Amino acid sequence: MTPLARINTYRRKLTKGLTKNIGKNQFLKPDSNPKKILVIRPNHRLGNTILITPLIAEISKQFPDSKIDLFVKGTVAKAVFENAPNVDQFLCLPKKHFKELFQYFKTWFQLSFKKYDLVINTNKGSSSGRLATTVARAPFKFYGEIKNNPYAHLPDYEHFAKFSIYNFWEYLEQSGKKITQKNIPLLALNLTETEIETGKTKLNQIIANPEKPTIALFTFATGAKCYSEEWWNSLYADMLVEFKDYNIVEILPVENVSQIQFKAPTYYSKDIREITAFMANTQLFIGADSGMMHLSTSSGTTTIGLFHITDPSRYEPYGNKNCSLNTNDFSQKAIIQEIKNRL
């Protein structure tokens, strides 16, 4: 571990200890209709950012005339929420704040001066999130969790995309607001027709037969979530036999590596929205738990998430025909059958 990484680890432990007990929910008045809302999620990871798209959609549904600012880390949120109708401005902490201290303190300074009607922290365990909620100027604040929440008995309560919505509903209900329709929104990037058509063009440029439907693979993932080359090569060989009526393509990570040695036609881009539009033109996506998996879910294509380290109950793709497979319990033969079932 580098000295900078050690400092960052100590910083996180310190701030978590200092902030774990700060903040108390300040509930809306029954007749409140907040126009200016701040949503806080200071995390730079793509997957974590996509997982708050349902919350933003639900806030927009409950307060359709509101404008939503986002307090985030890095710039990925700008691409994710580019077409979100109620999202207005972004307060972006630098991804590596030790290297950009001026921008880091400038963003906190901006936060302390802006006025909002309501502030919502999306992650109860984020020390930066709790601190930002405290610093932000607003008469009503929600720190991300309601203790003894009656929704906690639901089997999907702990899912990272749903937890914040279940607690947001309870916050509103304890504020005296009646919620008539309780449907968890799906992950979505709100792609335009033009973007989807561009994705189709990109797909057609690499496949041999545009008349065939396409299965997309993402063979990479960070750290221990990444399956071995042997594992992926075995699955890919079986898929070539079982799915002769489909194109099979590989979506490459930003690192431009392939666990199947580039044997399939490959697609590479650093444009998050273009990648999502490409996925939207495929019939099925299969890949390990990753930001790409969440991108696929948000594209609307059927998504199979592969899990063997992380907890599916917190991260699994949901909605449509999406599912997660715990590969500690699933053989590759069973995975092939599940792909057939989803197709």
Q: What is the pLDDT of residues 121-132, one digit of tens each?
A: 999 889 999 999
pLDDT at 18: 45
Measured from the Cβ of residue 36, the count of other Cβ atoms closer than 10 Å reads 16
Which tokens sit at 300? 């609307």
Q: What is the pTM of this model?
A: 0.92
Residue ranges, the chain, pLDDT below 50: 4-5, 7-8, 10-11, 14-15, 17-18
Task: Say which amino acid occupies 276.
Answer: T
CA distance 295 to 192: 15
Instruction: Check if 16-174 and 193-342 are the same fold.
Output: yes
pLDDT at 11: 44
Instruction: Quote the strand ranges of the chain, DSSP E.
Output: 36-41, 67-73, 87-93, 118-121, 140-142, 214-218, 247-251, 266-267, 284-288, 302-307, 323-326
The architecture in CATH of the region 16-174 reads: 3-Layer(aba) Sandwich (3.40)
Whole-angstrom distance, CA of residue 304 vs CA of residue 168: 28
What local confidence, expressed as pLDDT, does residue 20 receive? 55
Quote the CA–CA distance of 162 and 234 in Å, as a whole number: 35
Question: Which pLDDT belongs to residue 19?
Answer: 53
Looking at the domain that runs over 193-342, which CATH code has it been given? Answer: 3.40.50.2000
Which tokens is 78 given?
């700008």
Domain residue extents for the chain: 16-174, 193-342
